[in-house]
Chains A and B, each alone.
Chain A
Amino acid sequence: MPEAQPAFQFADLRQQHEAAQLGIWTFLASEVLLFGGLILAYSVYRYGYSADFAAAGRETKIVIGTLNTAILLTSSFLVAWAVAAAKFDLNWLSAVLLVAAAILGVLFLGLKGYEYREEYHEHLVPGINFHFEAPHRRGAELFFIFYYVATGLHALHVSVGIAVLLVIARAARRCAYSSQYHAPITVAGLYWHFVDVVWIFLFALIYLPGRSG
C-alpha cells in the first residue's frame, strides 16, 4: 500500500485531518441550529400547553421509540468501532461494521414508517385526520405537528447517513484507509453520531412526557 499523501494545500496529513474535522463540526453547528429552531418552538408550546403535551406524549409508541433508540445507539457504537478498526489498518473489519450500522439505520427507518402507519390509523396526523379528546386538542395538535416535522427531518438525516456509511464502507473494502489516512471515515462517523445525538433528545421530548400521569 503506497504512503498516503496530503492534498497540495496542506503541509501534512495531520493538518489535513484537522481541517476536515473543523469543517464537519462547523456543518454540525449549523445542524444544531436547524433542529434548535424546532426545539425552541417545542419548548414554548410545551410551556404553554403542558397538560396537552403530556396527554399527546402518552399517545406515542414508547416500545417502538425505545427500540429505535437502542438501535441507533448500537449503530453508533459499531461506527465508533469501525473508525477505531480503520486506524489499525483493519479495512475489512471497518467495512463489515459500517454495513452493519447501515442495516441498523434501515431497520430504524422501517420501524419509524410502521409507527407513522399506526398513528395514521389512530387519527393522529394533523391536517389529514386529526382527532383528539376535546380539552387537549389544541396543544396535542401542536405536539404532533412538531412530532412529524422533527422525526421526518431526522429520518431524512438517517437516510443520508446510511448512504454515506455505505460509500465509506465501499472505500474501506478497497483498503482506502490506514493509520495515517482516515479523515473521510472519521468525518462520516461524526455525522452519524450527530444524527444519534439528535435522536437522543427527540426521544426525551417526544416519548417521555406524560408517562407518569
Chain B
Amino acid sequence: MHRWAPPRAILLSWAVLLVLLALTIMLAYQPLGTFNAPIALAIATTKALIVAAIFMELRERGPLMIVFASAGFIWLAILLWLAWVDFLTRPGFPPR
C-alpha cells in the first residue's frame, strides 16, 4: 500500500456506509409496520458510529476524548427522556 493511497480502514468504512445507505432505503420500502422506524434509526446510528470511530478517529483516542465526544449525546438523551416522560403520559395529546 502506497502512502498516498487511502488507508484501508477509511476505504472500507466508505464502502460499508454506502451499502448501509442502500440497505436502509430497501428496508424503508418493506411493509414492516412499527418496525420500519426503529430499523431506520438503528441503521442511522450504525452509520454515525462508523463515522465517529473511523473517520473521526475516536477508536485511536483515550477515555477522556471519548467522554468529551459522548457528552453532547448524554445530555441529549436526558433531554429526550424527560420530555418523552411528559408527552407519552399526557392524556389528550395531540390536541386535534
Spell out A's residues near B (CB within 8 Å).
18, 21-22, 25-26, 28-33, 36-37, 39-40, 43-45, 47-49, 62, 66, 69-70, 73-74, 76-77, 79-81, 83-85, 88, 90, 93, 138, 186, 189-190, 193-194, 196-197, 200-201, 203-204, 208-209, 211-213
- Say whether A197 contacts B24, CB under 8 Å: no
Checking A77, A90, A213 against B13 with a beta-carbon cut-off of 8 angstroms, the contacting residue is A77
- Say whether B72 contacts A32, CB under 8 Å: yes
CA distance A70 to B73 in the complex (A): 24
Given A209-B36, A209-B40, 12 other A-B contacts at CB below 8 A?
A: A21-B65, A22-B64, A32-B72, A36-B76, A80-B6, A83-B57, A138-B96, A189-B56, A194-B56, A204-B40, A208-B28, A212-B28
19 contacts between A and B (CB under 8 A): A21-B68, A25-B68, A26-B68, A32-B73, A32-B75, A44-B84, A48-B94, A66-B21, A74-B14, A76-B51, A81-B10, A85-B4, A186-B57, A208-B28, A209-B37, A211-B29, A212-B30, A212-B36, A213-B31
**Among A21, A77, A201, residue most surrounded by chain B Cβ atoms (within 10 Å):** A77
Using known A-B contacts A70-B21, A204-B41, determine if residue A33 contacts B75 with beta carbons closer than 8 Å. Answer: yes
Please indicate the chain A residues that have their CB under 8 angstroms from the CB of B4 in the complex: 85, 88, 90, 93
Q: Closest CB-CB distance, B31 to chain A, in whole Å? A: 4
Please tell me the size bucket of the interface on B.
Answer: 35 or more
Checking B10, B18, B40, B69 against A25 with a beta-carbon cut-off of 8 angstroms, the contacting residue is B69
Checking B14, B25, B76, B93 against A77 with a beta-carbon cut-off of 8 angstroms, the contacting residue is B14
